[in-house]
Amino acid sequence: MPDAKQIEVVAPNLKRRLSGVTATVVRLIPVQARMIGIVATGPGLPPNLPHISLIRAATLPRHRWRVWHARRNTEMALGLILRHLLRRRYQLLFTSAAQRRHTGFTRWLVRRQDALIATSPQAASYLERPAAVILHGVDTQVFHPAGNRSALRRELGLDPDALLVGCFGRVRAQKGVDLLAEAALRVFPRHPRAQLVFSGRITADNRTFAEGLMAKAKAAGLGDRIRFLGEIPWGEVVRLYRALDLFAAPARWEGFGLTPLEAMASGVPVVAARVGAYETLIRDGETGTLVPREDVDALATALDRWLSDDAGREAAGRAARAHVEENHAIESEARAIVAVYRRLLDQVR
């Protein structure tokens, strides 16, 4: 159990199931722990993370200030309770990825934070207060190209000779899953080796949506080439990235959107819609292709282009890996966030 004297930052995660925010906490804290005394708190986190219980987070000694780094409304609200009702010495920090006007309650919470981080310039523009813009990064030791893609596919139960396209995240309209399925139905008849795999949870309210897409693929004779794998363990997702030839992120809207970076770090070019931070992350024509939001025609054209060009796809995968290593390694993100922590702590010392 971490010594209270060494805890300088508490990063809450008040959601049990895997989400993009949870994944951010999981991947950042091990890197940040080499730079500052940081612990997580909350449910649903791996046992190897430095961690304290919520009860302990609420009863840490008052002799020193710490940072409470929230990424959700519930976590901002709890931080206010800890500081103002329980009189814990927390400097309050909120990271926002949302690219939309916030609700009145969120704006109220944001006004009461001591500092803000935005994951993109677009997200910063909606905060109505100054924010440090810190783009997400990825761990290039965890996400890396496959040594032997065919062998890896056999281990994963995938066709070693397929042209494999992947799309990861919850199966719902917001992620543009239906747009990608439609584009695949148009393009795959010209590419007999092409296959598409979706990985992500299908919630009860999206079951009919997903089943409709499966039925449409089956009716087109492509049911065995457009597959929904459901929610799989994180370690398998990491390996699945390496097995791909091409990644697609056709979301209708997105906060930041980390999956293209994870794919590119794995040596996989990306076709993505111009939403979230994708225009900042992807070099159009070099590490993948950017297409207009909700444009199935453009999405199908991009798929066709990359599936038709083996040499170009391999070159783009190498360029994607180099781009992430140079510009989006997680160490840079971690250092920038730790610098914000230290500024907040310096203000009250």
pLDDT of 86 strictly over 70: yes
Residue 309: which CATH number?
A: 3.40.50.2000
**Is residue 142 domain-resident?**
no
Same domain, 163 and 311: yes
Prediction pTM value: 0.81
Residue 144 lies in a domain: no
- What number is the average pLDDT over the span 300-328? 96
104 with 202, same domain: the answer is no
Q: Are residues 163 and 72 in the same domain?
A: no
Rg (CA), the chain: 21
Cα–Cα distance, 104 to 277 (Å, whole number): 24
Whole-number mean pLDDT of the chain? 94
Q: What percent of the chain shows pLDDT beyond 90?
A: 82
Confidence of residue 1 (pLDDT cuts 50, 70, 90): low
| 227 CB-side CA count, 13 A | 13
C-alpha 247/C-alpha 245 separation (Å) is 7
pLDDT at 88 over 90: yes
| Residue 143 in domain | no
C-alpha 257/C-alpha 152 separation (Å) is 26
Tokens 């219980």 locate to 53
**Segment 154-169 mean pLDDT:** 95
Average pLDDT over residues 79-105: 94
Same domain, 41 and 133: yes
12-60 confidence digits (pLDDT tens): 999 877 677 888 888 899 999 999 999 999 987 888 899 999 999 999 9
Separation between Cα atoms, residue 137 and residue 89, nearest integer Å? 30
Question: Who's near 265: CB < 8 A, 6+ residues apart?
Answer: 138, 139, 140, 143, 144, 320, 321, 324, 325, 328
Range of the domain at 174: 149-327
9 and 92 both lie in a single domain? yes
What pLDDT was estimated at residue 8?
97
Q: Do residues 74 and 20 share a domain?
A: yes
* 187 and 100 belong to one structural domain: no
Residues 71 and 195 in one domain: no
pLDDT digits (tens, 9 = 90+) for 229-281: 999 888 899 999 999 999 999 999 887 788 999 999 999 999 999 987 898 89
Query: Does residue 248 lie in a domain region?
Result: yes
Convert the pLDDT of each residue in 288-311 to its tens digit: 999 999 999 999 999 999 999 999
Regarding whether 24 and 124 lie in a shared domain, the answer is: yes
How many whole angstroms separate alpha carbon 44 and alpha carbon 190?
43
Q: pLDDT at residue 347 above 80?
A: yes
pLDDT of 337: 97
d(CA 313, CA 329): 22
Same domain, 315 and 337: no
pLDDT at residue 19, as a whole number: 72
Q: Is residue 186 part of a domain?
A: yes
Rounded to an integer, what distance in angstroms lies between the CA atom of residue 117 and that of residue 113?
11
pLDDT of residue 61: 94
User: What 3-state DSSP class applies to 20?
Assistant: helix
Structurally, the chain folds into a number of domains equal to 2
Q: Identify residue 125 by its one-letter amino acid code.
A: S
What digits encode the pLDDT tens for the residues 123-161?
899 998 999 999 989 999 999 999 999 999 999 999 999
Same domain, 227 and 282: yes
Whether 188 and 131 share a structural domain: no
